[in-house]
Amino acid sequence: MSGTLSRRQLLAWGSGTALALVFGQGAWAQSTVSVDDFIALSARLLEREPRGLASLYATPYLDAIQARSGAALTTLINGGSDAALEEEIIANWYTGLHDTADGEALVTYEDALIWEALDYTKPMGWCGGETGYWADAPAGEA
């Protein structure tokens, strides 16, 4: 009889549909955010130009945040708000650190934004000039 389903065909069709729904939900739930989108979001939160934020540093921050709270990040990218996540992103850029399952991981020390905020000092280990450079007032200040 053509045009009718056998019990075997019905079970195969139904189980295939159920599997597609179950495994397909993971693809919908886990939308990935691009590095460019993350940099644009970071620039907005930091009130900076995106070109001043290096993708070299954005990638580990993005990967760490996406592993823990990818859905919240996607919501934030799409115009939502999440104060805790916003603070985490800002803290990552300023400290050069991000959280992992094993604790904090260093992404950058010398290029962390904190050194721009603390323009009166420099990262430890950086030379400021010739020996005794600190004894003279900066140019323009006396």
In a domain, 2, yes or no: no
| CA atoms of 112 and 101, how far apart (whole Å) | 22
The predicted-structure confidence for 53-92, as pLDDT tens digits, reads as follows 999 999 999 999 999 888 999 999 999 999 999 999 999 9
Domain that holds residue 112: 29-123
Answer yes or no: is 139 within a domain. Answer: no
User: What confidence category does residue 95 fall into, taking pLDDT thresholds of 50, 70 and 90?
Assistant: very high
The values of phi and psi at residue 44, to 5°, are: -65, -45
Q: Which residues contact 106 (CB under 8 A, 6 or more apart)?
A: 96, 97
Q: How confident is the model at residue 120, as a pLDDT? A: 78
Structure confidence at residue 118 (pLDDT): 87
CB 116 within 8 A of CB 132: no
Q: What per-residue confidence (pLDDT) applies to 51?
A: 93
Percent of the chain surpassing pLDDT 70: 80
**Residue 109, C-beta contacts closer than 8 angstroms, at least 6 positions apart:** 96, 123
Q: For residue 20, is it within any domain?
A: no
Tokens of 54: 């290096």
In a domain, 62, yes or no: yes
Q: Is 71 within a domain? A: yes
pTM: 0.68
**5 within domain boundaries:** no
| Confidence check: pLDDT of 142 > 70 | no
Q: Give CA–CA dist 72/79, Å, rounded.
A: 11
Asked if pLDDT for residue 27 goes beyond 70, the answer is no
Examine residue 12 and state whether it is found in any structural domain, yes or no: no
The answer to whether position 81 is within a domain reads yes
Give the total number of structural domains in the chain. Answer: 1
Across the range 114-141, mean pLDDT stands at 79
pLDDT confidence of residue 138: 73
Instruction: Give 112 or 126, the one with higher predicted confidence.
Output: 112
Give, in order, the Cα–Cα distances in Å from 66 to each of 31, 63, 76, 105, 109: 9, 5, 12, 15, 22
